[in-house]
Structure 1
C-alpha cells in the first residue's frame, strides 16, 4: 500500500471510490511508513500479527495480535511497528460515513453516525477482548477482512460493518470520557499549526509565524508540539520537507537541487546532509533505488 498525503496532511485513501466508499488495506508496518495524517473516513484496525503503536495528538497506545481499535474521522495520528524491524501486520478498514449512512440527512446518518462523528472528545476506542461484546466486534473485523478475498461481497461487507457500528455504539455508552476539553483545544491548535506548516513549508518560517497561525504564544506553541506529537515545530518542519522531497525523488526526474529548493531547503548541500542523516543514503541514490524497485517513474 502506498500512503498518499495531501498538502493539508489529510490522507488520500488509495482504492476508495464514490461508487464504493470502503477499502481494506493489508499492511505490514515494518516496511510501510504511515506519517502524521488525518482523513474524513472512519477507520477500524485489526492486528493480524506482531505488535504496533498508535499515536494521536493526545495519547499513545500499543496493540498486539488479535487486538484492534476504532479511529474517529479527522483524528491526527501515526502508526508504527512497536519494535523497529519487527513484523506488525494489520488489516485497516476505512470507509466514508455514507457507506453506512447513505445521504447525510438519512435517519441512519443522523441517529447512528452523526453522534459519533461529531463527538470532539472521541479520538479512538480500543478493542482488547474485554468481554463478549469486544470479542464479537473483533470476530466481525476478521470476517470483514476475509470477505475481501472474494468477489461480489459488497452487501455482506456493509452488513458486517452495520453490526460492528451497533456494537461500537454499545461500547461508547459504557466507555468513560476519552478526551477532556483541554485536550480537545490542544488538538485543534496542533492541527491548525500543522496545516500552516504544510501550506507554507517552502518558505522560511519562524517560531513566531507558526505560533501566530493558531493565535498562541511561542512558548504555548512549543508546549503544544511537545505534548501532541513529541516533536518541536522545526523538527516537524524538517520531517515534512524531507517527506515532500522523498515523494518528488520517487515520482519525478526533477534535478535534486531543484527538489531541495522547492521543498524549502536553502541549498543542495544542506538538503543532502539532512536527507542522508534521516534516510541513511544520499538523495540521488535514494532515487535510483526506489525508481529501480518500482520500475521507473510512476
Structure 2
C-alpha cells in the first residue's frame, strides 16, 4: 500500500490521473494522509474507476452534487464511477488517514459486454442516482462490507495467488454492495446532463484560468446559455461560476506557493488574480493567512 499526500490530474482536466495504474491489473491500494494534502483537502475531481474507502483515523467530509456526508473513523463508502466529488479532512485532534481501494470494474467483470457486466456491474455504475454509498458500523450488512474492505488491505502483492485472492474479495464486496444498493437502484433516476456540462466548463476553466474568463465564453464551452451555466454550477458544485473560478485560481496559487520559489507578485498574475494587493486580500480571506505565511507553513512541514 502506497502512502499518498497529493493528487494528480490529466492535463487541463479534473479527471484524476493514477500513475501506478496498470492495464493488466487495474487496481491500486493507497493510504491517504489527508493532513499532508495542501490545504488539508482534495479539490473537486472525478475518475472512471470505482473508489472503496475505509477511515483508519480522524474524519473526512465528502461533497458530491447530491450533498455532503461525514465519515468518522471506522466508517467507509463507495464512490461510483465518474462521480464529481471533493473531500476535506475534518478532525483537528487526530490524524485524518483514509485507506483506498481504487479499481476499474473490468477487474471484476472481465470482457466488456459479458453477462457479469450486464447483470451485476452496469446496473450500479450507470445509475445516476448512485453517487456515494456510505457504510457505517451498527448496520450488519454495512459492517460486513467494512470488515472485507479492511481485510483486503492485508493481502501482500508478494503472496502466491495475490491477484486472484484480491479479485475474489472485491467481487464478494461488490455482490454485497449490489444488494445494499438495490433500494437506490429501484428509485427512478435519469441521466443528469448537468454532470456532463459541469465537467466541460470545469475543463475550460482549468485550461484558461490564467486568462480573463467571461461567463458567456464559459457557457459556450458547454453549449449553454448564461442562465443555464449558473444553474448547472449551483446544482452540481453549490456555488456560482465566478466563485468556482476564484476558488480554482486560489487553489493554483496554493500549489505554486507550497512547491515553488516564485515571488508573490509573479504568482498573483500567473494564477489570474491580478495585482498583488488584490491577491493578498482574497488569499487571506481564503487561507486565513498571508501568501508568505502560507508558503512558510507548507514548505517547512514534513510532507
Of 108-117 and 6-15, more deviation after overlay is shown by 108-117
CA shift for structure 1 position 231: 1.9
CA shift for structure 1 position 267: 2.8
Check the 8 A contact 1:122/1:178 in 2, yes or no: no
CA shift for structure 1 position 254: 4.2
Alignment of 1:213-292 (within 5 A): 213-292=221-300
What TM-score, normalized to structure 1? 0.83
CA shift for structure 1 position 95: 1.1
| 2:213 equivalent among 186, 191, 205 | 205
Check the 8 A contact 2:26/2:103 in 1, yes or no: yes
Rounded to whole Å, the distance in 1 between the matches of 2:187 and 2:158 is 38
| 1:173 equivalent among 182, 192, 197 | 182
| 1:4 equivalent among 5, 8, 24 | 8
What does residue 167 of structure 2 align with? Answer: 158
Of 261-270 and 72-81, more deviation after overlay is shown by 261-270
What TM-score, normalized to structure 2? 0.82
Alignment of 1:1-298 (within 5 A): 1=4, 2-6=6-10, 7-13=12-18, 15-32=20-37, 33-82=41-90, 87-105=95-113, 107-129=115-137, 132-147=140-155, 151-152=158-159, 153-175=162-184, 177=186, 180-181=189-190, 184-293=192-301
Q: Deviations over 1:141-165 (max 9, x none)?
A: 11012335x7434332222101111
Gaps of 5+ in 2: none
CA shift for structure 1 position 253: 4.1
Check the 8 A contact 1:147/1:157 in 2, yes or no: yes
Q: Deviations over 1:180-237 (max 9, x none)?
A: 438x233333223222222221221122322333333333333332332222211211
Cα distance change on mapping 1:229 and 1:178 into 2, 3 Å: farther
CA shift for structure 1 position 48: 2.6
Rounded to whole Å, the distance in 2 between the matches of 1:219 and 1:82 is 34
SS of 1:3 mapped into structure 2: coil
CA shift for structure 1 position 242: 1.7
Residues matched between the structures, number: 293
Rounded to whole Å, the distance in 2 between the matches of 1:203 and 1:178 is 43
Q: Deviations over 1:236-285 (max 9, x none)?
A: 11111122222233344444433332322223332233333322343345
Rounded to whole Å, the distance in 1 between the matches of 2:289 and 2:70 is 30
Cα distance change on mapping 1:220 and 1:76 into 2, 3 Å: same
CA shift for structure 1 position 129: 4.9
